[in-house]
């Protein structure tokens, strides 16, 4: 199984972007065996608004841009944006960590079959 994961990172190292203000997402292919690679850098700065990206049309445009992804990793995401992604079949997770570390832990969680990341 392969998961497509959108990562909000400003420096390609840390997950440090707020979903509403994120102007680009790194798209990773995460394989069931734990391997992952960045396949794309999606620019979405035109979807960020003066209000910090919280305008409904901006959030919908970002959800559409990420519609082929299963998971979004950002350092912060509001309840409205999280619900919108959920409605589109995308799981949003807030984490502040190095990208590689977060992807390794995400892979362990997905392979575990647990319903909670805290179990």
**Average pLDDT, integer, range 25-44:** 94
At residue 57, the pLDDT reads 80
Using 50, 70 and 90 to split pLDDT, how confident is the model at 1? confident
Enumerate the H helices of the chain as residue ranges: 56-65, 79-87, 99-112
Whether residue 74 lies inside any domain: the answer is yes
Whether residue 117 lies inside any domain: the answer is no
Residue 22 makes CB contacts below 8 A (sequence gap 6+) with: 8, 44, 48, 53, 62, 74
Residue in 16, 39, 10 with CA at minimum distance from that of residue 95: 16
CATH assignment of the domain containing 94? 3.30.420.130
Assess whether pLDDT exceeds 80 at residue 41. Answer: yes
Using 50, 70 and 90 to split pLDDT, how confident is the model at 36? very high
At residue 110, the pLDDT reads 87
Whether residue 67 lies inside any domain: the answer is yes
Whether residue 104 lies inside any domain: the answer is yes
Across the chain, mean pLDDT equals 87
Sheet containing strand 24-31, strands side by side: 36-43, 24-31, 2-7, 71-74, 91-94
Using 50, 70 and 90 to split pLDDT, how confident is the model at 119? very low
Q: How many domains does the chain have?
A: 1
Whether residue 75 lies inside any domain: the answer is yes
Whether residue 118 lies inside any domain: the answer is no
How far, rounded to the nearest angstrom, does the alpha carbon of residue 28 sit from its chain's CA centroid?
A: 10
Whether residue 23 lies inside any domain: the answer is yes
Write down the pTM of the prediction.
0.87
Domain membership of residue 37 as a residue range:
2-112
Whether residue 84 lies inside any domain: the answer is yes
Q: Specify the higher pLDDT residue, 7 or 51.
A: 7
């Amino acid at each position: 199984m392969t998961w497509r994961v959108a990562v909000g990172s400003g420096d390609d190292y840390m997950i440090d972007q707020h979903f509403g203000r994120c102007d680009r997402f790194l798209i990773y292919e995460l394989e069931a065996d734990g391997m992952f690679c960045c396949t794309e850098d999606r620019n979405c700065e035109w979807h960020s608004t003066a209000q910090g990206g919280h305008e409904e049309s901006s959030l919908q445009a970002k959800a559409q841009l990420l519609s082929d992804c299963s998971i979004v990793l950002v350092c912060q995401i509001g309840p409205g944006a999280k619900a919108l992604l959920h409605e589109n079949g995308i799981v949003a997770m807030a984490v502040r960590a190095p990208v590689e570390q977060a992807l390794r832990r995400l892979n362990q969680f997905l392979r575990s079959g647990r319903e909670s990341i805290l179990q």
